[in-house]
Structure 1
Amino acid sequence: MPTFPSKPYRPQTTVMNSWNARAKRSPVLFFGLPFILTMVGASFGLSQLTQTRYDHRDMHHRKVAKEEALGMEKNRRQFSLQEEYWRLQAKSDEDDDWEQVRVERPPGVEQ
Structure 2
Amino acid sequence: MISLKALQKNKTIRYGVPMLLLIVGGSFGLREFTQIRYDAQKIRRKLDPSLEAKVNVQRQAVILEEEYEKLKEVNLEEWKNIRGPRPWEDSKEYQQQQRARKNKED
Q: Give TM-score, length-normalised by structure 1.
A: 0.51
**Residue 85, structure 1, aligned to residue 83, structure 2:** no
Letter in 1 for 2:67: E
* Higher RCO, 1 vs 2 (CA within 8 Å, ≥6 residues apart): 2
Q: State percent identity of aligned pairs.
A: 29
Tell me the matched-pair count.
83
Q: RMSD value over aligned CA atoms?
A: 3.8
Mapped partners of 1:73, 1:95: distance in 2: 38
Q: Give TM-score, length-normalised by structure 2.
A: 0.52
C-alpha displacement at 1:34, in angstroms?
0.8
Higher Cα radius of gyration? 1
* Number of the residue aligned with 1:43: 27
Q: Which structure 2 residue ranges, 5 or more long, are not aligned?
A: 83-98
* Number of the residue aligned with 1:3: none
Letter in 2 for 1:53: R
Letter in 1 for 2:8: A
Q: Which residue of the other structure, out of 81, 101, 104, is the alignment partner of 1:103?
A: 101
Normalized per residue, the structure richer in helix is: 2
Mapped partners of 1:32, 1:76: distance in 2: 56
Deviations 1:48-94 (A, max 9, x none): 222222223222222387732x354357554321112112322x149
Q: Which residue of the other structure, out of 4, 20, 27, is the alignment partner of 2:11?
A: 27
